[in-house]
Chains A and B, each alone.
Chain A
Amino acid sequence: MKVFGEARETRNGSHGYLCFCFSNQPFLLTTLLLIFLFPPIFVAQSSATTQRSEIPTSSAPPFVDVYSRDPSSHAEVTSAMFEGFIVDKVTLTPDGKLTEINEANLRKLILIRTGDRYEAMVIRQCIERLFSTHLFFDVQIDVQVLSPGHCAVDFKMARNVYINRLRFSGDRKLDTAQLLRQVTFREKESFDREALEGTISRLFVFYEKNGYFRSQITPKLIWDKSRSVVDIDLEIRAGDRARVEKLVFDVELPANASVIREEIKTRQGEKYSGAVLDEDIQDLTRQFALLGYLNADIYIKENSYNPERNTVSVTIRINPRDFVNVDVRGIELSHADKWDLLPLFPERSTEPVFVQESAQNLQRYLQERGHYFAAVKPAIRTELPRTVILDVERGKKFSLAGIRFENITPLEEGELRGVLALRLQSLFSRGVYTSQTLADDLERIRNLFVQKGYADARVEPRLEPRDEEAFVIFRVSAGPQFHVNSLEIVGNRAFDDQTLLDSLQSRAGGIYSPYTVAVDRSILITMYENAGFSNIDFRSDIHYPFPGLADITYYLNEGDRYTIENVVITGNRITRDHVIQRELALVAGEQVSLEKLLTTESNLYNLGVFNRVSIEADPTFQNPFQKILRVHLEEAEHYTLIYGAGYEDADPRVTVGISDTNFLGMARTLGTAFRVGARQQRGQIGYTLPRPFGWRLPTLLSLFAQHERKRQGDLQEDLGKPFDTTRLTAQLQSERRINRPTSLFFRFNYEKVSVSNIEELEALFRENRPVRLARLSVSLLNDSRDNPLNANRGTFNSVDLQLTPRFLGSEAQFMRLFAQQQYFQPVAHGLVFAVSERFGLLKPFGKNTVDTSLPVQLQNPIPISERFFAGGSTSLRGFRLDQAGPLVEKTITIKERAEKRLVPIGGNALLIWNAELRFPVFRFIRGVLFYDTGNVFRNAGNISLKDFSHAVGFGLRLNTPVGPLRADFGYNLNPPPNFKKELFFFNIGQTF
């Protein structure tokens, strides 16, 4: 017998027996054990049967006649020779500086310590553990005998070489993006010679395909051994492109070569392109198919290159073969529509399945256009010429006017309507109805009932026409509601029955549905994964002993449970180990929990200093039920330069800043930013601590200085706040993330505010220029907008409450409440309805200074710099910036003339409501219709609807990568005296 049981030439006949037995599985394990036991037995026997002893003589090292690693070497030394030696020294010797891992983490992978006995198996395991970090491509073990029975072990590691940069140079003639698609590796990956050689081959093929048969590609590599990175430069000389010397058509009738020659893009005498030629073949195939030659044989029969002349000769073979008459009756279809709707053309087949699908597509096409009762009858005639007939009866056009439900208790109609894809008619459409949509909705409705336990629920649809309207009626037969009769779990050992049963959604006596079983499966698997198990096998078994009752049994195979032997961190060049370690939810000795792995990953990402975090559980190569948790990090660039420009309310501005997001490797951010504008200048320094005192409470310390000049101008509408403001602020802010969209902020800031450049208004605000304000505030923020810069859906809610008490050093005491809510709802066809509400309230408390010499309406203990102002492109577009609210008439000097002007003085209450309807205009241009209402009031008690200003208007938005450019025209319906009604605004960014 040749395969099994073949007697081999061995010293022991039982070896041949083993060969034979091995083919039979029942004997396998016997065989395995015999094999493992064999060598000692063999040793005992072989010494009797052969002169070649396993025990070497003093002069002959073992294995010398069995194996030699280096054929040219005379020293034949193996790891096993050192078995039992005492290891006096263990060293780690990489071939260069290690940047991805430090020595402490590397040593965690070495299982052998000074003083241990040398074990070849353990050494081997160390090689695997070091290799599994993916940092080294080779690990070599050097052993030096120090004295009899003592040795030193050196782990020599060859670092992986990474690709630092890849570029193309030379006269490439082809687009870099196209060339990159031929490359099978990427920057930052480890270098692989085979991949480079493969890429060069692909590039040669690609160039030939594009007509460059004389291309030369020279790879040039610069290897930085200290950093273990390589720059790859592929120098390409494309050469001259080949021309088409001959273009021949080998055609069968009724194909006409001269007509075909005109149809295709490849031309004799012109430059050759294999890609264009392939397109020509595809186009010809398509055209012949649409003409009825579905099985036309069209291919490149010859494509030969002449290297001396740099030309290509091409022969295209066309055999139309059988003609099939595709007769579509009752509707006119363009060639493009035929190709898209009738798969028998692109599939080039008249198989019944494609004909049927073509009929269904046609029906759907007509139903989408309102012919709800369209019918398409397919027929195939096999007598020659073969004919496929699609007989279309369009029927009348309808609009979907209503959808009704019958017999749907216990479900609510709203619940059912929410899952439908059918749409009723509207201003712009007849509604959405096709047979497929109806079938899908039917299934969705049925699933809703099944989820509630009505496993036998049936839904029957009806389409009722009435004149030019159609109505869909869903009639439901729910059947009995199924309940769980019994629930059992089999195979669990790690958790007791009750713990598992309590965690499940299914309950004995409760409602039964397949969805609950799926949820239970997910719950159980997650529970086990979080307890360190993997390869969990789950199976469910459902029996129905009586109608409406289900017996559920879950079978579990718990799989293997793993604990963590060690945690090794790699990839952190800058970030300190302890910063990473404090974010780990898993430590050595614990079970490998999926939940904690995800928490660790999330914590590390939240530091904001890593582009990528990957956590792998590697085998220890020692204990099969332990894992080494390898946390590999890819640090982000930590220096950021910010620069930008903006424009808001006739205030152009420039911003520049620099920040280090991983300051001192502690995941702290130190940054500075400056904004310089025509009216406003601001400078800021900030320092963020992600975990002050170990608390998970990111805290920002910042100092900023801001100066805002009043608007200069002659006209009423040019005026805003009638003073300059200078603020110097020190702020401490902590954030507590409640969930993904919701955060809580705690703030303390100490501010020195100066109001200046008041001139004639000095008397008004003499008492209202406090120098110091100390604020305590808390803010709650919830943001679920899809895009904060240009939202189309979602909400934004915030509430901010501030207290400015004297005991903290404030010169005025007041409370400030500011709440805002924004809501974005897509309506239809790109329309978005957006609403914003703002409410603000200032309330003094305790002792405050008020200048009683002023008129009553001007007496206000709240400093003017802290009052609410409104008006402008982001609040009320019926006013210029800050011009809304309480006004006081003053005579001021403008160009040496005394002029009466209304000057805004701000208020202690604010209420604003904005509504916008945003709609698409053309590509990236959108339009807006808006209505702004509200005002600033002296106090909350003064809020009155009759004092609300109203403005309407329209605008255009030009979407750009940095946000929309905005132009708005506002028309104030009830402006104050001498205020302009029409106002233009130009800005960057949405109103809200």
Chain B
Amino acid sequence: MRINGPLLSFAFRLPPSDPWPPRRIVRSSWLAVSFLLMIGALPAFRAEIVDRVAAVVNDRVITLSDVEWSFIYSQTALPDDAAKRKKATDDRLNQMIEQELAAQEVEKEPSFVLREEEVAAELKKLELRHGGREKLESEAGQMGLSQDQLRLTIRRQLSVLKFIDLRIRPFVIVLPDEIATYYRETLVPELKDKGISTPPPQDEVREQIEKLLIEQKVDQELDQWLSNARKRAKIFILLYREESPNMPPEKWTKSKQ
């Protein structure tokens, strides 16, 4: 799991107990659409599968609509080619599986359950940034989020970030040699490629390089942690699978009706 991309889309993915996707977005975005949908977009009078279980992560469901919404929120254009589109969907589903796994793993750690005060403090900061509580409530309501749902979303995601900050980040160390190697083998050549013949001295950029390397290592540790979690987890993927993992495989099975 890389922190930039998937965690961003993780932010879009509300936990199962939250209403998702927020209603108002759907209404505001698609109200005008629906009329057009009625007219021509849909094959009339034919039943269509519109939603289903796409994957299960330790008894928590990721639905087809979750995957669809994640593409919408991330503004990702899918390839035209059907096979590539399928791969992109599979990849996105796998990312969402990892995000769900991360949230579940953190929930198991009692020391990372946030106190009400911490959630309240963050909510307070949010209220200040949005010009007050009423304004924040109004904006959240437009998205179909109640205060309780917003609070729960914040709590879940803050827990993951807190976990990263307390359990992973403090144990990541960058050695001076590594900074020097990065400067010498990566930064300087990159700058030269961009036409900067006189790169800044290493001491000037040491701090930035250190931060960058720390984040890279945090990424790697997160990946390892998730990989271990995945081995322990019960994950079923149903989307695009010819045979469900919960059904007896045809090659060994005789049916008795």
Contact = CB atoms under 8 A, between A and B. Distances in A.
Interface of A: 1-4, 6, 10-12, 15, 18-19, 22-23, 25-26, 28-33, 35-40, 42-43, 54-63, 65-69, 71-72, 75, 77-85, 119-121, 123-125, 127-128, 131-132, 134, 137-146, 148-149, 152, 154, 156, 158, 160-161, 190-194, 219-226, 230, 535, 537, 557, 559, 619-625
A10 B5 CA distance: 13
Given A32-B157, A68-B82, A80-B68, A625 B16 contact: no
Contact of B29 (A2, A39, A58, A148): A39
Shortest beta-carbon contacts, A-B, top 6: A71-B82, A61-B41, A137-B246, A3-B215, A140-B52, A144-B47
A86 B12 CA distance: 28
Contacts, number: 308
A148 B38 contact: yes
Interface string B213-257: 001100100000000000000101010000111111100111111
Interface stretch (B96-104, B138-146, B170-178, B195-203): B138-146
Nearest to A63: B68
Contacts of A145: 38, 42, 44-46
B50 A77 contact: yes
Contacts of A22: 4, 7-8, 11
Given A56-B36, A61-B42, A33 B29 contact: no
B253 A230 contact: yes
Given A145-B38, A619-B16, 16 more contacts: A12-B75, A32-B157, A33-B126, A58-B41, A66-B72, A67-B85, A77-B50, A120-B65, A137-B56, A138-B52, A139-B53, A140-B53, A145-B45, A161-B248, A193-B243, A230-B248
B191 interface: no
B64 interface: yes
A412 B148 CA distance: 56
Contact of B61 (A38, A66, A128, A148): A128
B32 A120 contact: no
Interface string B164-191: 0100000000000000000000000000
Interface in B49-78: 49-53, 56, 59, 61, 63-68, 71-73, 75-78
A221 B154 contact: no
A83 B43 contact: no
B17 to A, nearest CB: 5
B53 A124 contact: no
Interface string B16-40: 1111111101111111111011111
Contacts of B53: 127, 131, 137-140
B3 A144 contact: no
Contacts of B125: 26, 29
Report which residue of A38, A619, A624 has the largest number of chain B beta carbons within 10 angstroms of its beta carbon. Answer: A624
Given A18-B8, A35-B12, A124-B66, A557 B115 contact: yes
Given A39-B72, A148-B38, A83 B50 contact: no
A220 B77 contact: no
Contacts of B86: 71
Contact of B48 (A37, A42, A67, A75): A75
Contacts of B83: 71
Given A140-B51, A144-B47, A221-B253, A3 B154 contact: no
Nearest to B151: A624
B36 A223 contact: no
Contacts of A32: 11, 153-154, 157
B75 A221 contact: no
Contact of B154 (A29, A149, A161): A29
Contacts of B207: none
A557 B36 contact: no
A2 B212 contact: yes
A4 B130 contact: no
B80 interface: yes
Interface string B80-120: 10110110010000000000000000000000010110000
B26 A83 contact: yes
A127 B249 contact: no
14 contacts: A28-B122, A29-B154, A32-B157, A33-B139, A56-B33, A79-B64, A127-B61, A138-B244, A141-B49, A141-B52, A158-B244, A158-B246, A221-B254, A223-B255
For chain B, which range describes its interface: under 10, 10 to 19, 20 to 34, or 35 or more residues? 35 or more
Contacts of A149: 38
Contacts of B18: 624
B256 A78 contact: no
Contacts of B63: 124, 127-128
Contacts of B19: 121, 125, 622
A3 B47 contact: no
Contacts of B47: 142-144, 152, 154
Given A69-B64, A72-B82, A140-B49, A23 B36 contact: no
B52 A624 contact: no
A193 B45 contact: no
Given A15-B75, A83-B30, A191 B51 contact: no
A79 B54 CA distance: 14
B11 A35 contact: yes
A704 B216 CA distance: 83
B25 A223 contact: no
A948 B234 CA distance: 73
A225 B247 CA distance: 10
Given A61-B37, A221-B253, A160 B246 contact: yes
Contacts of B48: 75, 77, 142-144
Contacts of A125: 19
Nearest to B249: A193
A548 B66 CA distance: 62
Q: Tell which of B4, B12, B21 has the most Cβ of chain A within 10 Å.
A: B4
A3 B17 contact: no
Contact of B52 (A35, A66, A139): A139
B143 A81 contact: no
A449 to B, nearest CB: 34
B245 A30 contact: no
Contact of A3 (B46, B144, B219, B253): B219
Contacts of A18: 8
B194 interface: no
A3 B49 contact: no
B23 A3 contact: no
A191 B143 contact: no
A23 B219 CA distance: 12
A85 B42 CA distance: 13
